[in-house]
């Protein structure tokens, strides 16, 4: 599901799902959903890394599952970072010297650092400056559910195949 635009004035998601708690540059969105195939059909976006123009949607394993234009919510297909692993954040001086790193998540003001593979070679690349990090805590309720209980793999997207940039599956 494509994200709606962010409302920076009141620090909420315009899709209006539950409270958003903020501690420094890390925010926690709490979402309660009923167990049904519509709510569990798409991979879970566990973390959003937000820059000025882009939202990097990450799964629970910190893999970038999708990228969205921040203003419109339109998905950016075929981006280099799709399938890449978020390894942390980096703050650099104007001359490129490394000043600080953060792990496992970047801090606001840092670039997010992703790791991927292409043609058998590992690469690291950085985003523009991170504005926000949103961790999505999802609670799935089963009360009144008429469908089978989902497995942990269904809930976490663990069995969903991620393909590296070299085309090899990454489970």
Residue 50 lies inside a defined structural domain of this protein: yes
CA-CA distance, 168 to 145, in Å (whole number)?
37
Q: Reduce the DSSP state of residue 37 to 3 states and report it.
A: helix
Residue 21 lies inside a defined structural domain of this protein: yes
Residue 159 lies inside a defined structural domain of this protein: no
Residue 90 lies inside a defined structural domain of this protein: yes
State the average pLDDT over residues 84-102.
Answer: 96
Residue 1 lies inside a defined structural domain of this protein: no
Residue 112 lies inside a defined structural domain of this protein: yes
Confidence of residue 122 (pLDDT cuts 50, 70, 90): very high
For the chain, how long is the longest CA-to-CA vector?
A: 59
Q: Which residues contact 72 (CB under 8 A, 6 or more apart)?
A: 5
Residue 61 lies inside a defined structural domain of this protein: yes
CA-CA distance, 13 to 16, in Å (whole number)?
6
Residue 149 lies inside a defined structural domain of this protein: no
Which domain covers residue 99, as residue numbers? 6-143
Please indicate, yes or no, whether the overall pTM of this predicted structure exceeds 0.85: no
State the average pLDDT over residues 63-78.
Answer: 92
Q: Which residues contact 17 (CB under 8 A, 6 or more apart)?
A: 29, 31
Confidence of residue 34 (pLDDT cuts 50, 70, 90): confident
Count of domains forming the chain: 1
């Amino acid at each position: 599901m494509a994200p709606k635009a962010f409302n920076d004035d009141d620090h909420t998601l315009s899709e209006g799902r539950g409270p958003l708690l903020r501690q420094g540059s890390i925010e926690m969105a709490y979402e309660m959903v009923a167990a049904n195939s519509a709510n569990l059909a798409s991979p879970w976006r566990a973390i959003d890394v937000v820059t000025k123009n882009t939202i990097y949607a990450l799964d629970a394993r910190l893999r970038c599952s999708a990228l969205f234009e921040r203003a419109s919510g339109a998905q950016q297909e075929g981006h280099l970072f799709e399938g890449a692993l978020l390894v942390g954040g980096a703050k650099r001086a104007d001359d490129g010297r490394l000043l600080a790193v953060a792990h496992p998540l970047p801090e606001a003001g840092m670039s997010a650092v992703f790791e991927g593979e292409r043609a058998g070679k590992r690469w690291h690349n950085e985003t523009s400056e991170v504005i926000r990090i949103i961790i999505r805590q999802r609670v799935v309720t089963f009360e009144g559910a008429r469908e089978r209980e989902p497995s942990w793999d269904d809930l976490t997207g663990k069995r969903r195949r991620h393909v590296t940039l070299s085309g090899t599956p990454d489970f």
